[in-house]
Amino acid sequence: MKENKEIKCQLFLLHFAGGSAYSFDFLKKNFDSAIDFIALELPGRGKRFEEELLKSRQEAIDDYCRQIVDLNNGSPFIIYGHSMGASLGFGVVAKLEQLGYFPKRFVVSGNAGPGVKKKRNIVRYLLDDFEFKEELRSLGGIPEEVLANKQLYDFFAPIMRADFECIEKKNIRQYDTIETPIYALMGSDEENCEDIDNWNQYTNTVFEHKVLKGNHFFIYDHAAELARILKESFLTQTDLQEI
């Protein structure tokens, strides 16, 4: 009989608006084969380009949950989401808990959590193209050549609009709290950075947070630190005390 291979811990990553499974390639190089690095993606992009875009928060949450349940190998796992990935991720973790799946930690970045009102009251997915491009520029992380080139923009804009519609429409009940520990990260120059503690009220257990220098896409400048936090998410409290 063949000896069973060691089952790896799993890291599930949820992309930001307009992103795909490839959005976390910058981070993957900081991980070795000890952790199963699983970057997920919603329909309408990347490897799922031929599928119809989702425009409902609940549909997006359900899609992510199906992927995670199908891929889960029974080992400890964590969920990390940036921006939209954090917003949807909260619902994903809540639903997974209802199904009997409990992540070791929910790591979020670029998002101050549910209920925090933006200083500018705009609905991004309904903006005209000029205003939409300006909004995308203000967020950063999107190459100017994509916004300046009509063909590239016409390809990219529907994906962005659908993603914003998912998170901006009030089409899902809000979960009160989750049982999973939360670790929140934000860039020092982000809108609502001062509200990062807001995440604390949405977990019934441990909450930690950290602010790193940068804008909404600060994660690109702090890949090593982000990877360290994600790796430590798999450790027990005893393990951490021995580091």
Instruction: Tell me 101's DSSP state.
Output: -
- Strand order of the β-sheet with 106-109 is 35-39, 9-14, 77-82, 106-109, 182-187, 207-212
Domain ranges of the chain: 9-242
Of the candidates 61, 66, 67, 62, which has an alpha carbon nearest to the alpha carbon of residue 21? Answer: 67
List the chain pLDDT tens, one digit each, 243 residues: 344 457 799 999 999 999 999 999 999 999 999 999 999 999 999 999 999 999 999 999 999 999 999 999 999 999 999 999 999 999 999 999 999 999 999 999 999 999 887 766 777 788 888 898 988 888 777 888 888 899 998 999 999 999 999 988 875 556 689 999 999 999 999 989 999 999 999 999 999 999 999 999 999 999 999 999 999 999 854 344 444
| Distance of alpha carbon 142 from alpha carbon 154, whole angstroms | 14
Q: Which CATH architecture has domain 9-242?
A: 3-Layer(aba) Sandwich (3.40)
| Distance of alpha carbon 40 from alpha carbon 22, whole angstroms | 9
Paired with 182 in beta bridges are: 106, 207
